[in-house]
């Protein structure tokens, strides 16, 4: 199903800007009982609506296909390129423990300092007040600087960051494919580089029972891309040759490639959930199952 844009805050071209007031977000989910409040909230409806709208938008399409790239999308890619450059400028330090390199804290401190300025480069002047609010989601999206870990909660903060940009009209309905294929895909590349460079721990990982140590959304959107593919079926993604030949076209296979680079041993052992998914008969079933799993987790 497809959410109409007005429900999502994805504004159509030419819609008058709404009068909005902005505030610094604060943590509202502190205990288990707060989860029910979150599930009933407009924020949850907006967030899930955003995820599902993008899921429809990329259905059956390759990363390499043609799509419109707007100026705000270009600016977001520029922002992510800056974060990437900072990794190069902040090499890992020598330390006794193998994981959680402390240089990540130096890198993060720079983002903490510059986030508002970075966001201000993406949003138009008349929305300048929004920068402080939106920047919080950007800072939350790269991992935790105390624990030096990264997980799907950080990924969700980046999706919320993009959802906020839709709600204030910076990103629009016709940016859908570019949001996933250009912006989110670039975000994934930068996160993988962070994970590798600073040997970040998985945050809140369920180990072998989780889908993946670090990401979730690219499996949802990536399985949507593969729906009705003429010859790639779910059983093929555990085939190394298929992954090597097709990963540049499909997010799902890009994720599998990264897992096999980072982990050793039989795929069925280190990624049991994904191994089970490879037995599902169709990509649309995989996609529906992952959406259910995402809501539950």
pLDDT tens string 73-121: 999 999 999 999 999 999 999 999 999 999 999 999 999 999 999 999 9
- From the list 200, 199, 205, 220, the residue with the least C-alpha distance to 152 is 205
**Section 231-257 average pLDDT:** 97
CATH topology of domain 207-296: 1.20.120
The whole-model pTM stands at: 0.93
Token representation of residue 59: 């259905």
The residue extents of the domains of the chain are: 42-92+99-202, 207-296
Q: How far is CA 276 from CA 16, 160, 184, 271, 290, in A?
A: 48, 29, 26, 9, 12
pLDDT tens string 184-229: 999 999 999 999 999 999 998 676 678 999 999 999 999 999 999 9
Q: What is d(CA 52, CA 59) in angstroms, rounded to the nearest whole number?
A: 11
**For the chain, first and last CA: distance in Å?**
21
Tell me, what's the pLDDT at 2? Answer: 38
The set of residues, in sequence order, having a beta carbon less than 8 Å from that of 24 and lying 6+ positions away, is 132, 133, 136
Q: Is residue 249 within 8 Å of 230, Cβ to Cβ?
A: no
Burial of 196 (C-beta count, 10 Å sphere; 0-12/13-18/19+): middle
């Amino acid at each position: 199903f497809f959410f109409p844009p007005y429900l999502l805050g994805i504004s159509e071209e030419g819609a008058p800007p709404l009068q909005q007031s902005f505030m610094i977000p604060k943590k509202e989910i502190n205990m288990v009982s707060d989860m029910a409040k979150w599930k009933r909230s407009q924020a949850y409806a907006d967030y899930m609506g955003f995820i599902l709208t993008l899921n429809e938008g990329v259905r059956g399409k390759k990363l390499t296909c043609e799509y419109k790239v707007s100026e705000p999308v270009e600016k977001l890619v520029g922002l992510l390129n800056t974060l990437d450059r900072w990794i190069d400028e902040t090499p890992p330090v020598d330390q006794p423990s193998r994981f959680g390199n402390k240089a990540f804290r130096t890198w993060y401190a720079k983002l903490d300092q510059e986030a508002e300025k970075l966001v201000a480069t993406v949003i138009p002047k008349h929305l300048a007040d929004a920068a402080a609010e939106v920047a919080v989601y950007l800072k939350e999206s790269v991992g935790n600087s105390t624990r030096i870990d990264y997980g799907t909660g950080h990924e969700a903060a980046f999706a919320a960051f993009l959802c906020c940009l839709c709600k204030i009209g910076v990103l629009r309905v016709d940016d859908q494919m570019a949001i996933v294929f250009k912006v989110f895909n670039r975000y994934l590349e930068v996160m993988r580089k962070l994970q590798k460079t600073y040997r970040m721990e998985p945050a809140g990982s369920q180990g072998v029972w989780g889908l993946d140590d670090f990401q979730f959304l690219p499996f949802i959107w990536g399985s949507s891309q593969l729906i009705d593919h003429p010859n790639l079926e779910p059983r093929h993604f555990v085939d190394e040759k298929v992954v090597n030949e097709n990963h540049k076209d499909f997010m799902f296979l890009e994720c599998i490639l990264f897992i096999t680079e980072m982990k050793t041993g039989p795929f069925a052992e280190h990624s049991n959930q994904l191994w089970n998914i490879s037995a599902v008969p169709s990509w649309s079933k995989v996609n529906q199952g992952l959406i259910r799993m995402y809501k539950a987790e």
